[in-house]
Structure 1
Amino acid sequence: MARRKLVYEGKAKILYEGTEPGTLVQYFKDDATAFNAQKKGIIDGKGVLNNRLSEFFMLGLARIGVPTHFIRRLNMREQLIRQVEIIPLEVIVRNFAAGTMAKRLGMEEGTPLPRPIVEFSYKDDALGDPLVPEEYIIAFGWASQQDLDDIIALALRVNDFMAGVMHGVGIKLIDFKIEVGRVWDNDFMRLIVADEISPDSCRLWDIESGRKLDKDVFRQDLGDLADAYTEVAKRLGVLPSNATHMPKPTLIN
């Protein structure tokens, strides 16, 4: 079998040329990184869990009319996605103070914010994905004012959906980040949710105990990351309640 053409490899995913025009195959790796890849590890089964969880969230968003790049899951680690032009920004939505926001402002982690706050960081690992104001984004041509207005509205819709789903299973959505891509239907441009939505890109705390169920488990050495992600998947019904974390299958190209 001929090997597929590799398009891009990041810290947690690999993109291959898709089998259909205008598509890519997104492969979820078991690699875990933190602190701009200064801390690295391999967590068996993480890629399988993130593939299933991202599928769950993308399908849920589609049901409420939020457009995404997701087409279908192909197997345990791969999904077929629409090829998009990624806007070079991470779109961060915060409901509670945590992480860099808590450090910047000297706030206690978990402090409720008066309303969801949307921030932008410039996607550049070498620079540490610096926070950027809207004025920079417009001046450097990464997005127009109309694009930013649409991105904020899109991000807040994702937040409403995610916060509601998580609250229903006893999990507090502290914050999350998404990426947004441009697609064209003839001459009409649309903005859609891209990349992934998983515990890798969210902060998730158990409502009752405050236990962290996201990548902070790896960042802060709080236990087994795969067990935390498995707990999220079980609560959401993505995995049966008696499941242990998913095995590590062999990738065949």
Structure 2
Amino acid sequence: MARRKKVYEGKAKILYEGPEPGTYVQYFKDDATAFNAEKRETIEGKGVLNNRLSEHFMTGLQSIGVPTHFIRRLNMREQLIRQVEMIPLEVIVRNYAAGSMSKRLGLKEGEALPRPIVEFCLKDDALGDPLVTEEHIAAFGWATQQDMDDMIALALRVNDFLSGMMLGVGIRLIDFKIEIGRVWEDDYARLVVADEISPDSCRLWDVETDRKLDKDVFRHDLGDLADAYSEVARRFGLMPKQSFTSGPKLVH
């Protein structure tokens, strides 16, 4: 079997050259990191769960006309995606105060915001992915003003969809981050949702109990991360309701 060419390796995923031109294979690792990778651990089954959950959310977005890089799932840990030109920004949508926003603004964790707030962070691990303004983005050429307007509109559409989807299974979408890339068609660039949408990139709280079902479980030692992610998968019908001791068994 031919060795695949690795294109990129991040904290949670590896990209390999895809089988067709213009594609990548995205492999989900079991690694969990927090605080800019200062805290690190391997969580058995995490990559399997994130692969399946990201597929579920990406295909849901595509069904309402939101373009994504997702093509199809290949196996338990891998999916085929479109090759895109990544914009070096994280787009964060906040519905409730939590995390860094609570610290920056002195807001109580879980406090509802007056409206969804969109923030941009520069993707740079060495700098800790700092918060940046639209003025910074335009001045340094990371994206045009039109790109930013389109990114905000796209992020708010994702927020509307995910918020409803989560609420339907008893989960509050506190906040989430997405990455966005450009797909070139002749001289026209179309923006698409890329990277992943999973409990790694969202804050998810149980509506009734405020139990955290996201990476904050790992960040703050609140329990078993695989169990929290499995609970999200179960609520969306992607896992059997009973638990298994041999790791996650996803519904195909």
Of 237-246 and 14-23, more deviation after overlay is shown by: 237-246
CA distance in 1 between partners of 2:201 and 2:194 (Å): 12
Aligned residue number for residue 86 of structure 1: 86
- Residue identity opposite 1:157 in structure 2: R
Aligned residue number for residue 125 of structure 1: 125
Structure 1, unaligned stretches of length 5 or more? none
CA distance in 2 between partners of 1:244 and 1:75 (Å): 20
Q: Secondary structure, in 3 states, of the residue corresponding to 1:92?
A: strand
Offset, 1:66? 0.1
Of 180-189 and 106-115, more deviation after overlay is shown by: 180-189
CA distance in 1 between partners of 2:45 and 2:139 (Å): 42
Alignment of 1:159-198 (within 5 A): 159-198=159-198
- Residue identity opposite 2:126 in structure 1: A
Q: Secondary structure, in 3 states, of the residue corresponding to 1:110?
A: coil
Q: Please tell me whether residue 218 in structure 1 is matched to residue 218 in structure 2.
A: yes
Aligned residue number for residue 70 of structure 1: 70
Check conservation: 2:84, 2:182, Cα contact below 8 A: yes
CA distance in 2 between partners of 1:229 and 1:120 (Å): 26
TM-superposition CA deviations, 1:18-64 (whole Å, max 9, x none): 00000000000000000000000000000000000000000000000
CA distance in 2 between partners of 1:240 and 1:134 (Å): 44
CA distance in 2 between partners of 1:42 and 1:79 (Å): 21
TM-score by length of 1: 0.96
Structure 2, unaligned stretches of length 5 or more? none
Could you list the runs of 4 or more consecutive aligned residues of structure 1 that deviate by over 6 angstroms after TM superposition? Answer: none
CA distance in 1 between partners of 2:102 and 2:176 (Å): 14
CA distance in 2 between partners of 1:227 and 1:61 (Å): 25
| Root mean square deviation of aligned Cα | 1.2
Offset, 1:215? 0.1
Identical aligned residues as a percent: 77
Aligned residue number for residue 138 of structure 1: 138
Aligned residue number for residue 21 of structure 2: 21
Q: How many residues are treated as equivalent by the alignment? A: 249
Check conservation: 2:217, 2:223, Cα contact below 8 A: yes
- Residue identity opposite 1:129 in structure 2: D
Aligned residue number for residue 114 of structure 1: 114
- Residue identity opposite 1:4 in structure 2: R
Check conservation: 2:32, 2:42, Cα contact below 8 A: yes
Check conservation: 1:45, 1:245, Cα contact below 8 A: no
Check conservation: 1:73, 1:80, Cα contact below 8 A: yes
Offset, 1:243? 4.4
Offset, 1:187? 1.7
Go from structure 1 to structure 2 and tell me whether the alpha carbon gap of 1:165 and 1:246 turns closer, same or farther (over 3 Å shift): farther
